[in-house]
Amino acid sequence: MGQVRKAKVDSIASLTVRLFEAGATWKVHQAMATLQEADVTCHFEVGIEADGIVEFEVNFTGRVDKANAVKSFLDPQIRNAVETDFKASYSLAFKQPLSLKDSSADAFSKKLTQYGVARPLSRRSPERYR
């Protein structure tokens, strides 16, 4: 978040987190499901090859609470797959822009890390926040 603050960005209205590994995504999913300060939309794009399965694809976009059943279905499929192509994203639209002038962003970051999300918000370029 230091880069964003140095760029003198006052607040963040929206944020997108992109992931490419199922295990990390499920940790993020737990954190996203608890957020009350933002409306969270989840997107999964998954391709699976397994024994007897030539091609299996799932595309889901919806509210994070509606994604729980999809996540529960996908997790064992991915674990048993021979090959997977996994992409996920979580788009957050903050109900009130997340202030970078006080401790709000740090509290938000801490909330995400309690679920095992490593260093949220720290590797984004300031242009993404405007």
Q: What are the pLDDT digits (tens) for 91-125? A: 999 999 988 888 888 888 887 777 665 554 444 44
For the ranges 2-16, 39-53, 98-112, the lowest mean pLDDT is seen at 2-16
- Looking at the DSSP bridge assignments, the partners of residue 107 are none
Q: Cα(24)–Cα(107) distance, rounded to whole angstroms?
A: 21
What is the C-alpha to C-alpha distance for residues 102 and 10, in angstroms, rounded to an integer?
10
Q: Mean pLDDT over residues 23-41, rounded?
A: 90
pLDDT number for residue 3: 61
CA distance 64 to 34: 10
Q: What is the DSSP string of 81-115?
A: -SEEEEEEEEEEEEEEEEESSSSHHHHHHHHHHTT
Q: pTM (2 decimals)? A: 0.79
pLDDT in tens, 72-96: 999 999 999 999 999 999 999 999 9
